[in-house]
Amino acid sequence: MSSLDYRKNPAVRYSILCILLLPLLALLLSPPPAHADGGFPIIGVLHAGQRPEGIAVDTETHMVYIAYEFPSLVVGFDPISGKVRWSVTVGDSANDVQVDSTNHHVYVASVSNNNTRGFLTILDGASGKILFNAITIYGNDGLAIDTIRQLVYLSSSDHDIISVYSLTTSSGGKISAVSSTLKVGTHPQPLGVNSRLGRLYVGDVASNTIDVIHWPCLCRLLNRPGTGRHRRPYQQGYRAHSCLSLSRGSCLQYCYGTHLRGRRGTSGQRF
């Protein structure tokens, strides 16, 4: 067709115009991407269980781990492939999940339906294989991991204690643990750990305070005779952690003399 025929034939002109406009119309008519409040785009939605209670992210592998209350599942989700790699049932109701981005272990706190006991479960982050499982005191309200010292903290506001698990991994990959109990406040619930400084942060929902415990103090308090300490090796292989030389008086003053009520604390102390 000559250029003259093109200009004289309206049908040809309209056909070419429609072909050029089709991509633009498809873009305009497609639904816009969903956005959260504030304008951030939602890049994906995962439906793998009901009532998610905890989420943890391995910053090295980028794996995402979700603890669902019902059914009591822990799901390992790979955001790169967009697929669920594995799901594992833990206890009767999962409460929280944490991950160690160094050894890629996933730590899960769960409880039983009859309100009599709790569970601490350690999973392999890549496969979901159960590496360790222990019965704990009921009421796993808070879960925190000291990745440097390999300590797991579980709070129970029902029993007003914190369970501390000292972990050891053999050359063959077998995990063993020794449990101790720590009395902090009256209703300990949320927990946080600064592994670099060796600090444990304990939120007390009754007194509305945050207790800050330094590692040498914690080590002394767990090992001091006459405190009703509890030690129970789940497997052989207990390895004592070294403590800095610190007197009991200065330890208690340093640790329990510090409460955060929306302020920085006493002079000279870092949190």
Cα–Cα distance list, 141 to 126, 162, 164, 240 (Å):
26, 10, 14, 27
25 domain-assigned: no
Q: Is the model's pLDDT at 234 over the cut of 80?
A: no
29 domain-assigned: no
Structural domain span for residue 90: 50-260
In angstroms, the CA 61 to CA 229 distance is 38
In angstroms, the CA 140 to CA 109 distance is 6
Q: What pLDDT does 140 receive?
A: 72
Mean pLDDT score across all residues of the chain: 75
Q: What pLDDT does 32 receive?
A: 59
Q: What pLDDT does 237 receive?
A: 29
Q: What pLDDT does 56 receive?
A: 97
Over residues 220-238, mean pLDDT? 41
- Higher confidence at residue 221 or residue 182? 182
Q: Quick one: pLDDT band at residue 21, thresholds 50, 70, 90?
A: low
227 domain-assigned: yes
180 domain-assigned: yes
Residue 4: CB atoms within 10 A of its CB come to 8
The CATH number of residue 246's host domain is: 2.130.10.10
Over residues 238-260, mean pLDDT? 39
Q: What pLDDT does 154 receive?
A: 94
Report the domain count for the chain.
1
Q: What is the DSSP string of the chain?
A: --HHHHHH-HHHHHHHHHHHHHHHHHHHHSPPPPB-TTS-B------SSEEEEEEEE-TTT--EEEEEEETTEEEEEETTTTEEEEEEE-SSEEEEEEEETTTTEEEEEEE-TTSS-EEEEEEETTT--EEEEEEE-S---EEEEETTTTEEEEEETTTTEEEEEEEEE-TTS-EEEEEEEE--SSSEEEEEEETTTTEEEEEETTTTEEEEEEHHHHHHHHH-TTS----EESSS---PPP-----HHHHHHHHHT-EESSS--STT---
Q: Quick one: pLDDT band at residue 231, thresholds 50, 70, 90?
A: very low
pTM reported for the whole predicted model: 0.70
CA atoms lying within 13 Å on the CB side of residue 183: 7
- Higher confidence at residue 225 or residue 215? 215
Residue with tokens 């499982």: 133
Lowest mean pLDDT among 4-18, 131-145, 241-255: 241-255
Q: Quick one: pLDDT band at residue 13, thresholds 50, 70, 90?
A: low
94 domain-assigned: yes
5 domain-assigned: no
**Are residues 215 and 149 in contact, defined by beta-carbon separation less than 8 angstroms?**
yes
6 domain-assigned: no
36 domain-assigned: no
Residue with tokens 């005779």: 225
